Amino acid sequence: MRLRNVKNAKDILENYKYFISDVCSNKNEWSLKFGNKNPIMLEIGMGKGDFIIGMAKAHPEWNFIGIEKYESVLVRAVEKLEKEDITNVRVMAVDAKNLEEYFGNEIDTIYLNFSDPWPKKRHFKRRLTYKDFLKTYDGIFKSGARIILKTDNDSFFESSLISLNNYGYVFDLVILDLWSTERENVKTEYEIKFASKGFKIKYLEAHK
């Protein structure tokens, strides 16, 4: 999908209360930012925000942080957030490879929703379930580790299963066709698009 550039996206984001601009200032103090000690869930690659908004509304007992690399995409997410009456969401325009700069051991669960599958072999180290990323996640989990993943891409799903297993994760749930189940599922924009084209949505939950 072609990324549409939003002119002055950074300046636009600064005007929204949900947006965190000083990205390193809250490390080890995210509970203070939310004003409570509720579990903190992190969505890496939040896109236009449908998932994180839906989850925050469904689970007010949790706090949610969404990160998105592209500011133009994040603008669309915060525009949606501003229309909602929710207080348990914050978002940042940052890269996942630098997570330990923004978080201490504070995160309870990481969500990976329709991450870039990086299908070419020379790019496999960029996958968010590659061992180097899993090692980075170790540095931000509060206690233990929990990852929830959704994708339409068979190859990425298979490689993620292998990578997580090799890194010591245990699978609590693996579903090859999520939409055929009655499991609670907050859908993303990509998810609806891919499923409408006949792609099966794969899902896993794993802990370590």
Convert the pLDDT of each residue in 178-197 to its tens digit: 999 999 899 988 899 889 99
Q: How confident is the model at residue 1 (pLDDT cuts 50, 70, 90)?
A: very low
Residue 6 has pLDDT above 70, yes or no: no
Structure confidence by residue, pLDDT tens digits, 99-134: 999 999 999 999 999 999 998 888 889 999 999 999
List 22, 50, 116, 177, catalytic entry: 116
Flag whether the pTM goes above 0.95.
Answer: no
Number of domains in the chain: 1
Q: Residue 108 gets which letter from DSSP?
A: S
Residue 65 has pLDDT above 80, yes or no: yes
Least confident range from 11-15, 172-176, 204-208: namely 11-15
116 is catalytic: yes
Q: Residue 3 gets which letter from DSSP?
A: P
The answer to whether residue 59 sits within a structural domain is yes
The answer to whether residue 174 sits within a structural domain is yes
Task: Spell out the long-range contacts of 95-98 with Cβ–Cβ below 8 A and sequence spacing 24 or more.
Answer: 95/69, 96/44, 96/45, 96/67, 96/69, 96/128, 96/133, 96/136, 97/133, 97/136
CATH (domain of 203): 3.40.50.150
The average pLDDT across 67-94 equals: 90
The answer to whether residue 1 sits within a structural domain is no
The answer to whether residue 50 sits within a structural domain is yes
Average pLDDT, the chain: 92
The answer to whether residue 3 sits within a structural domain is no
CA 70 to chain centre: 13
Gap between the Cα atoms of 69 and 3, Å rounded: 12
Q: What are the helix (H) ranges across the chain? A: 9-13, 30-34, 50-58, 71-81, 99-102, 131-138, 154-166, 189-196
Domain range holding 184? 9-207
Structure confidence by residue, pLDDT tens digits, 11-46: 778 878 888 988 899 999 999 999 999 999 999 999
- What is the structure's pLDDT at 3? 52
- What is the structure's pLDDT at 2? 46
Tokens for 137, please give them.
């996640």
